[in-house]
Amino acid sequence: MFVLLSAFMTLPVLLLMNSEAPNAMAFVRSAIIVLVLGIIGLVCTLHRVRDLKPRYMFVLTVASWFIIALLSALPFYFSHQGISAADAVFEAVSGVTTTGATVFTGLDTMDRDLLLWRSILQWIGGIGIIGMFVAVLPFLRVGGMRLFATESSEWSDKALPRMRTLSRGLLVVYLFLSILAVVTYSLSGMSLFDAFNHGLTSIATGGFSTSDQSMGKFSDLLLIEATIFMALGSFPFFLYVREMHGQRGVLFRDQQVRLLLGILLAVPLLLTLHEWWIAPGVFDPFHNYTATLFNVTSVITTTGYAAGDYSAWGPLAFAVFFFLMFVGGCSGSTAGGMKIFRFQLSVIILKEQLMRLLHPRAVLTRKYNGRSVSDEIIASMIAYTFVFLLTLLVMTLALAALQLDFVTALSGSLAALTNVGPGLGNLIGPAGTFSPLPDAAKWILSIGMLMGRLEILSVIILLSPAFWRG
């Protein structure tokens, strides 16, 4: 992983051909450091037996994400921009976890190599997230992918060939959608540089932009296209692979995909009608609906783009966007959040409990996507929800202790844990950045972003004394 990361660090210099890469030496120094660390690791473990037991996989998964995030900050820290360690790490973590929160301002005039590195980080993080959710976390019995049929829920000799086929398919789909996004944006009026950056961050549902106005800088047509690509990035990628292998219609038969599409159709329409009701004189139906659809999609898919300050659209919009930050996209996608399936399972449990109150002796079957849902899955979901809310509480109190106002502390913590990106309010909302926050707050939020990306439980287990016994 370190060797691959060092290769990616050379891309901003190679793609910009040095003339537009004023931080070329920063990238070269960073790449050399990471490459040397990778080679040392390879040499030290060259003849070791690679026995990937769950205990070791927990350590590998969590450590790799934390360490790669730190190493990814080196180009920012070594650049001539004078970026502090806290800012460099925050930006790198936000990139790798595809959160999209930023501490940078003046993006329109920022060095292009740094802008390109931000987008590349999100693209790397996107494919890493898909691989982790589809192959690693099911093996560790963490996350929601155990609900869905994949060929990678076990790492046995029998399963490895199928897992390699799935991995190749995921990479092909990810590359195809990324290239399609870049080409589409370019043909619709974006410069090649803007199209490349936004193409990478749209499919990764990352949200880093090349302008302080984010996607609000561009036309309604580009907003519609970005909405489509954000939605595509938030669908389960393993279902794309199944479609590719002849299982027609499997994507839209999936319950989480259908609910996500339903929310994306209903919520923007209701918010647009509300906007027309409260301000009919300044209402432009097409533009208002396009902006609302775009922003709702950006938040629910945890992309983090913005087209205007939606936190200033009135109390109803403020409340709707706050609760949408919890939802997230589908399991097995690049999106963050609590994921659609957890809310659907909660509804199933509620219905089951109501039926038991009416018919105490009834024998009830619990089905999701045509599959039985075990008590283990339900227990895992309840544990995740409790730990998520507890972590949100602790982070909010920690930020409030740093003298941040309640809206900033709560929405910032929520945006980090769900990997949405911007929070709410004047300070860190869609029209602001995380730059004014104290360094301590940035470190707390950086840890929160990584915990949210790793489904929290996989990090919490490493803090348990029982994990290290034996």
What pLDDT sits at residue 287?
87
Within 97-219, residue ranges assigned H as helices are: 112-131, 137-139, 160-187, 192-203
In a domain, 460, yes or no: yes
CA 10 to chain CA mean position, Å: 24
Q: What is the pLDDT along the chain (470 residues), one digit of tens a residue?
A: 999 999 999 999 998 876 778 899 999 999 999 999 999 999 988 877 766 777 888 888 899 999 999 999 999 999 999 999 999 999 999 999 999 999 999 999 999 999 999 999 999 999 998 888 777 777 777 766 666 654 444 444 455 556 778 888 899 999 999 999 999 999 999 999 999 999 999 999 999 999 999 999 999 999 999 999 999 999 999 899 989 888 888 999 999 999 999 999 999 999 999 888 887 767 678 888 999 999 999 999 999 899 888 888 889 999 999 999 999 999 889 999 999 999 999 999 999 999 889 888 888 888 888 888 888 888 888 999 999 999 999 999 999 999 999 999 999 999 999 999 899 988 899 988 999 999 999 999 999 999 999 989 889 988 888 888 86
Q: Say if strands 367-368 and 371-372 run parallel, antiparallel, or are unpaired.
A: antiparallel
The reply to whether 41 falls in a domain is: no
Tell me which residue of 297, 293, 300 sits closest to 271, measured CA to CA.
Answer: 293
Say how far apart CA 7 and CA 409 lie, in whole Å: 37
- Our measurement of the distance from residue 76's CA atom to the centroid of its chain's CA atoms, rounded to an integer in Å, reads 21
DSSP state of 134: I
Residues 6 or more apart whose CB falls under 8 angstroms from that of 177 comprise 203, 229, 232, 233
- Element at 17 (helix H, strand E): none
Interatomic CA distance for residues 260 and 136, integer angstroms: 25
Q: Alpha carbon 448 to chain centroid distance?
A: 13
Residue 144 lies in a domain: no
Residue with tokens 């609760």: 323
Bridge partner list, 371 = 368
Flag whether 111 is in a domain: no
Pick from 117, 116, 134, 206: nearest CA to 170? 134
* Dist. CA 400–CA 405, nearest whole Å: 6
Q: What angle do CA 255, 256, 257 make, to 5 degrees?
A: 90
Number of structural domains the chain divides into: 1
Tokens 């580009």: give the residue: 222
Q: Extract the tokens encoding 231.
A: 């939605």
Domain span at residue 383 reads 374-468
367 forms bridges with which residues in the sheet?
A: 372
Please provide the size of the chain in residues: 470
SS (H, E, C) 301-366: CCCCCCCCCHHHCCHHHHHHHHHHHHHCCCCCCCCCCCCHHHHHHHHHHHHHHHHHHHCCCCCCCC
Q: Are 340 and 145 in contact (CB under 8 A)?
A: no
Q: Which residue in 269, 319, 278 sits closest to 424, CA to CA?
A: 319
Does residue 2 fall inside a structural domain? no
| Whether the model pTM is above 0.85 | yes
Angle of helix 112-131 relative to helix 160-187, nearest 10 degrees, comes to 150
Tokens of 327: 């939802």
SS3 461: helix
Q: What is the pLDDT of residue 26?
A: 94
End-to-end, the C-alpha distance of the chain in Å comes to: 29
39 is a domain residue: no
Task: In whole angstroms, give the CA distance from residue 131 to residue 116.
Answer: 23
Task: Answer yes or no: is 196 within a domain.
Answer: no
Is residue 403 domain-resident?
yes
Q: Are 335 and 234 in contact (CB under 8 A)?
A: yes
